[in-house]
């Protein structure tokens, strides 16, 4: 797609021509003991802090200090409906309609709340299909749902596995599973972007296939939100969940997001856990009224939200609103493609990229498989000033995030890797 070249001058030229390069200066970049910037490649685990975050959080602290409880109505950003300040921007990030999106709770909690509504087992159709190497929390969550409903979690779990000596999943294998077990499967729950390989799945294809066999379909988009074009509405998925502390840069353990397709928006018969924040806003404070559920994703809320966490999310989303996912993903493809190009020039059998080579099948993460699972390579990269991520048994995950990573970052990382490999 792009005509890449070797050498530091080319990397510098790419940065000079990058219309988004100035956003790097809007983030706090971790530094080494000498005060130089580290090469930070773990935005897929924890995104960096925008410099505006402190201002946004301080605004709410000041309003709390000066207004107390009246801040719910009189704060600069009144707390009562603060979550609605995030809805439009978040909907754009994940490709949804505003009625389909809400920011609430944390990731695995939201997954459970969604399964209360969309995992509807019967005696004959009760199984759940996930990737064989799903993120552990997803696997634990679906297993516990099976047990909660009285099923054996080993019998009730169906795994979509890669073929022998392969790392990536094939859609024809998923279809074969559904041809064999489709009538037994109540729910398909897949990670939109696999945390380990970085494979970005075709959400629409999976949803269409699942619905064809009568399954409900949901996605964990923790590694997709803010990274790839999820197009959740057009995918037709019944629900999706994601965190905001990775590519959405909202801070450790911050709140998560939920998507519920609009075809479910006014279905008051859906089973769900409820609380007063899912009740009709006009009568919410008439404490003795019967429950009257809000339409759309808001109707899955339980409690009034933690404002300080939402302020940090707003700081990041305002930046996403300014940049837009189109420009962000365009740079991401170019930046990740450059990273892939440089790695392939190393000409070594010590490492191998297991992430798909087609840009539409990945985000910005490249998963580098290390021969014989030698973690020493990761340790040496860390000592050389590269913040990357080791995942057992044998992968170094690196994510050049387009908002704050530069082409020179990528070049320097590969040069350090080359030096380490040559010394071995």
pLDDT of 1 higher than 80: no
Q: What is the DSSP letter of 345?
A: T
The mean pLDDT value of the chain amounts to: 96
pLDDT of 373 higher than 90: no
- Residue 424 is predicted with a pLDDT of 65
217 forms bridges with which residues in the sheet? 188
Q: What is the largest CA-CA distance in the chain?
A: 73
pLDDT digits (tens, 9 = 90+) for 178-196: 999 999 999 999 999 999 9
pLDDT digits (tens, 9 = 90+) for 281-315: 888 888 788 888 999 999 999 999 999 999 999 99
pLDDT digits (tens, 9 = 90+) for 189-225: 999 999 999 999 999 999 999 999 999 999 999 999 9
Confidence bin at 131 (pLDDT 50/70/90): very high
Q: Answer whether CATH 3.70.10.10 is correct for domain 8-49+324-423.
A: no
Q: Answer whether CATH 3.90.1150.10 is correct for domain 82-321.
A: no
**Main-chain phi, psi angles of 222, to 5 degrees:** -55, -40
Q: Output the CA–CA distances (angstroms, integers) from residue 263 to 16, 139, 208, 238, 420, in the order listed.
A: 46, 27, 15, 8, 54
Average the pLDDT over 127-151 and give the result: 97
pLDDT of 35 higher than 80: yes
Is there a contact between 386 and 39 (Cβ–Cβ < 8 Å)? yes
Domain boundaries, given as residue ranges, for the chain:
8-49+324-423, 82-321
């Amino acid at each position: 797609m792009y005509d890449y070249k070797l050498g530091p001058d080319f990397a510098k030229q790419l940065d000079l021509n990058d219309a988004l390069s100035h956003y790097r200066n809007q983030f706090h970049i971790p530094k080494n003991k000498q005060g130089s910037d580290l090469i930070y490649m773990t935005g897929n685990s924890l995104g960096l802090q925008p410099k505006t975050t402190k201002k946004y959080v301080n605004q709410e602290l000041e309003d709390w200090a000066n207004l107390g409880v009246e801040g719910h109505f009189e704060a600069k950003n009144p707390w009562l409906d603060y979550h609605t300040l995030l809805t439009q921007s978040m909907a754009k990030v994940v490709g949804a309609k505003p009625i389909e999106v809400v920011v609430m709770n944390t990731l695995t909690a939201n997954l459970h709340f969604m399964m209360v509504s969309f995992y509807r087992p019967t005696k004959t159709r009760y199984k759940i299909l996930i990737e064989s190497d799903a993120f552990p929390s997803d696997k634990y969550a679906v297993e516990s749902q099976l047990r909660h409903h009285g099923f054996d979690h080993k019998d009730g779990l169906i795994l979509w596995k890669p073929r022998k000596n392969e790392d990536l999943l094939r859609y024809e294998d998923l279809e074969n599973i559904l041809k064999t077990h489709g009538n037994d499967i109540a729910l398909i729950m897949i990670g939109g972007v696999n945390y380990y390989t970085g494979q970005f799945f075709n959400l629409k294809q999976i949803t269409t296939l699942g619905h064809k066999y009568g399954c409900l379909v949901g996605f964990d988009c923790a590694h997709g939100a803010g990274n790839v074009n999820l197009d959740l509405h057009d995918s037709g998925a019944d629900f999706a969940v994601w965190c905001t502390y990775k590519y959405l840069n909202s801070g450790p353990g911050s709140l998560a997001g939920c998507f519920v397709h609009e075809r479910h928006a006014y279905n008051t018969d859906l089973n769900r856990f409820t609380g007063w924040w899912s009740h009709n806003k006009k009568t919410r404070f008439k404490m003795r009224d019967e429950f009257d559920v809000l339409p759309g994703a808001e109707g899955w809320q339980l409690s009034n939200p933690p404002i300080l966490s939402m302020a940090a999310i707003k700081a990041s989303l305002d930046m996403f609103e300014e940049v837009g996912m189109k420009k962000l993903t365009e740079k991401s493809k170019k930046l990740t493609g450059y990273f892939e190009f440089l790695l392939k020039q190393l000409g070594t059998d010590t490492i191998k990229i297991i992430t798909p080579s087609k840009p539409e099948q990945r985000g910005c993460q490249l998963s580098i498989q290390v021969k014989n699972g030698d973690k020493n390579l990761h340790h040496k990269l860390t000592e050389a000033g590269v913040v990357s991520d080791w995942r057992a048994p044998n992968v170094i995950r690196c994510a050049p995030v387009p908002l704050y990573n530069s082409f020179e970052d990528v070049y320097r990382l590969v040069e350090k890797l080359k030096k380490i490999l040559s010394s071995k």
